[in-house]
Structures are given as structure tokens and as C-alpha cells.
Amino acid sequence: MLVSKAKRPDGRKADELREIKIEAGVLNRADGSCYLEWGQNKVVVAVYGPREALPKHIQNPNKALVNYIYRMATFSVPERKNPKPGRREIEISKVCGEALESAIFVERFPNTTIDIFVEILDSNAGTRVAALTAAAVALADAGIPMRDLVSAVSVGRANGEIIVDLTKEEEDAEDAVDIPMAIMPNTQEFVLLQMDGIMSKEEWSKAIAMGQKACQQIYKLQREALRKRYLAAEKE
Amino acid sequence: MAKRIVIPGEVLTSERKRLGQHVFIRDGKIVADCLGIFIPEAPVASVIPLKGRYVPKENDVIVGIVVEEKFAGYVVDINSFYYSFVLKEGIRQNLKRGAIISAKVANVNEVNGVELTNVRILPKGGEIISVVPVKVPRIIGKNASMLKVLKEGSGSQMIVGKNGWIWVRGGNIPLLEKAIRKIEEEAHLSNLTNKIANMFKEKR
């Protein structure tokens, strides 16, 4: 594949991700949890459930509800953010919740809800994909049956180059296009795909292919984070 | 036997095997559906989960706490998705909120609601130690070997509920709780019974 050698503002190659650190099981009182650092992004995710959905009228006797709540801390952006959930946060909560719902075996837990609380502590573009990546790890850590993990990354274009994992600086370029995408890495099924900006067909295919490759890298990190705590059992 | 830690969606094997718990088939391959331990040599492909909630099953013996008294019976918390209801019929004592009972699951309906039978009222003065439900088999052990070690080591009475609640009374409860926490933490490792037996020996 043609990947330009030109360096980006922070010195990365076009297909290089920022440094990612994932740790599972960080919160004692949650059923499952995850802390993730993705470049400057810092995310904590707590998973509770499956537990009885209340009030009773929201229960669905055919499947579990996935209640994904994305919230940005007031100090997570340069200028203080109003703690009230805004249009953007409500939208992200909806699309990410639906992305995870397609990975979870929701039909096994009728009348229940799986609560996923995402708190963004620090942000620098790509928080929704960071949050989704962390949420998948937290769900697995909670022991919730899933078809597959969900790995997410953002791809796009800045200054005429197709790149993965855009920073805020790159997102603010004149010709910037941002495509957050999430896939189930073992089946390559898409569970989230958004885009803002305009791209040519060639650019699009190139960007998606780069994104799929990056997702496999992220999947490896998620896998290591989950396995790390129990590795002693394999050595015996 | 070699063990493998698997994560949801990971392909376990492409051989044809009998399907056990926590697996499903995708493109003709056997795949894990939760975080757990997989033993490749075993004849049945199954994953032993490392985390998870209690999903009630018929004939499980569980420990419950009375939440509320109603006219005809008691509402009992069984650490599952919903509370269960036990009729006063056959219960001679008058139970108060907080009373601890043990019971057998008679029937589970399609939304995981539970009916209980064989209700036994546990004597006063006991307490409940709560563990992750998937680790209960390790606390009982093969042929209840671990349970025997725990009972003898601490001198306590114990009733282990499949729902992850363990009723204990008398004896050295702080030591017992320490042992149970150790089992919970190291449930994925082998030779645990000996480790716990040694732990009790040292403390004595």
C-alpha cells in the first residue's frame, strides 16, 4: 500500500497510532472496569450489570438494554465544559451504545440493563473511539457474554494526507475529514461508522483499509490487557 | 493440563468437538463468548468463566436474605436479577427483614425469575460473605475437598450458595474470610486446596 513517508505535526507516520495504554479492572465496586490512555486522551469506564432494568416500563422481555453514558469532565477540554450533557454527548452515547449492543448477547438477559458509564478525563480528538475501545474491555472484564470485542479508531484526511488517529491539531486542518470507525476485529463487521467532511472514492477506500489495519493493532492491545491479570494460570 | 486464557470472540479450535458452556459457533469454528479459561485437551470445548453474574439454574442451592414481609410470604434477595417470593406456608417461624435463609431453586422462568423450595431458616448470629458467583465451584472443590479444609481450618459452620453468598457462623470468621478472598483471587491457579490448608496450619 502507498503510505506517505511525510511526518505529521507530532512526528508520527501516516499509519502510526498514538501511544495506547489499557488497564482492566481498576474499579473495585463496578462489575467490570477499564482505564485507557490514548495519547493525551484519558478515559475511565465502569460497567454494571446485567441488572434489573428500572423503572419497570423500560424493560424489554426479549433482550437486555445497553445503557451507554458518555460524559466529558469539565476539565477535559481547554475551556471549561458545561457539565450538562449536550447534543454531542447524547449522540455519542446513542451510537456507541448501539455499536456495543450488536456485540453483546443481549437476548440472554431479558428484562435487564447493562449500564456502561464512560468518563472522559482528558481529551485530544478521538475520544469516542477511545471510549468505545475501553468500554469493550470493561464489558469483557465484567464477564458479559459477547460475540467479539469492539476495536475502534479514527481515520481521516488532514493537509491532503490520509492518516489514522487524528489529533485535535490535525482535525482542525482546512481540508480535514474525520471518520470514527469501530469493527469487531475477528469478523471485520462494522459496528460504528461516522464521517464529517467530503472525500473522493479512492481516499475513502484507502482510509477504511488503514483503519481496519489499525483496529487489529488495537485489538492486540485489548487482548493483552485482559489476559495480563490471569497469565499466571497459563504458566503452570 | 495446559490452560489458555481466552477473551470473547477468540477462536478456540476448528476441530469438531462437543460444545460445553460459554462457547458458540462462527463459520464452523468454536469461539469463546466470555473471558475465561480454556483447556485445549479436554474432550468438550468449554470456557470456564473468570467473572460474571449469577444466572439461576434449577436445583441450585442458594442463600438469600429476607427483604420484606408481605401478607402471604416474604420477599427474598437472592443476588440474581430479581427478588424471589417465598410463601409463608410451611415456614413456622415469623421472619424479619434481614433474616437469612437457604433454599433450592425449584423453577426458573424464561425471564430468569426464580421459584424457591426446601426453604430452611438459618440460625441467628451468622453472617454472609459475598464472592463472585463463578468462583463458587472453587470454594467447594472436588468432592467438597476445599469446603472441608475451610470448615476444619476455621471451625465455622458454612453453607455455600451457588449465588455467591456464603453463610458462616462461629469459629474464626476473619481467618475464614481471608482464606475465601485468597481462593477468589487465585481461583484460576491450580493446587489451591493445599495452599489454603497450609495457610490454616501456619495461622494455628
Kindly give the residue spans of alpha helices, DSSP state H, lying in A102-194.
127-141, 168-171
Test B35 with A187 for CB contact under 8 angstroms.
no
Q: Do B140 and B110 belong together in one domain?
A: no
CB atoms within 10 A of CB A111: 23
What's the gap in Å between the CA of B92 and the closest CA on chain A? 31
Which among B50, B81, B82 has the least Cβ separation from residue A143?
Answer: B50
- Report yes or no on B183 lying in a domain: yes
| Residue B188: predicted pLDDT | 86
Q: Virtual CA dihedral for A188, A193, A196, A198, nearest 10 degrees? A: 50
Q: Phi first, then psi: give them for residue A182, nearest 5 degrees.
A: -135, 135
Residues in chain A: 236
Q: Flag residues of chain A having pLDDT under 70.
A: 1-6, 236
**Which structural domains are found in chain A, ordered by start?**
20-227 (3.30.230.70)
ipTM of this complex prediction, to 2 decimal places: 0.88
A88: helix, strand or coil: helix
Global pTM?
A: 0.92
Q: What are the residue ranges in chain B where pLDDT is below 70?
A: 1, 204
**What pLDDT is recorded for position A4?**
56
Looking at the fold, whether B157 and B179 belong to one and the same domain comes out as yes
Structural domain range at position B160: 127-203
Nearest CA in chain B to A60: B111
Looking at the structure, tell me whether residues B106 and B78 fall in a common domain. yes
pLDDT of residue A233: 78
Tell me the C-alpha distance between B170 and B182, whole Å.
20
Q: What count of other Cβ atoms lies within 10 Å of the Cβ of residue B61?
A: 15
Helix, strand, coil tally for chain B in percent (to 5): 25, 35, 40
Q: Which of these three, B97, B121, B145, is where a domain ends?
A: B121
CATH of the domain at B9: 2.40.50.100
In a domain? residue B111? yes
**B112 is a domain residue:** yes
B71 and B115 share one domain:
yes
- Dist CA A208 CA A210 (whole Å): 5
* Any domain includes B106: yes
Q: Do B33 and A31 touch (CB under 8 A)?
A: no
- pLDDT value at residue B49: 92
**B187 and B133 share a domain?**
yes
Same domain, B114 and B137: no
| Minimal-distance CA residue of chain A relative to B111 | A110
Question: Which residue, of B121, B142, B167, is where some domain finishes?
Answer: B121
Domain-embedded: residue B56: no
B197 and B147 share one domain: yes
Looking at the fold, whether B136 and B190 belong to one and the same domain comes out as yes
Nearest of A141, A165, A131 to residue A12 by alpha carbon: A165
Residue A67, pLDDT score: 96
* B131 plus B198 within the same structural domain: yes
The answer to whether B189 contacts A145, with C-beta atoms less than 8 Å apart, is no
Q: Is residue B20 part of a domain?
A: yes
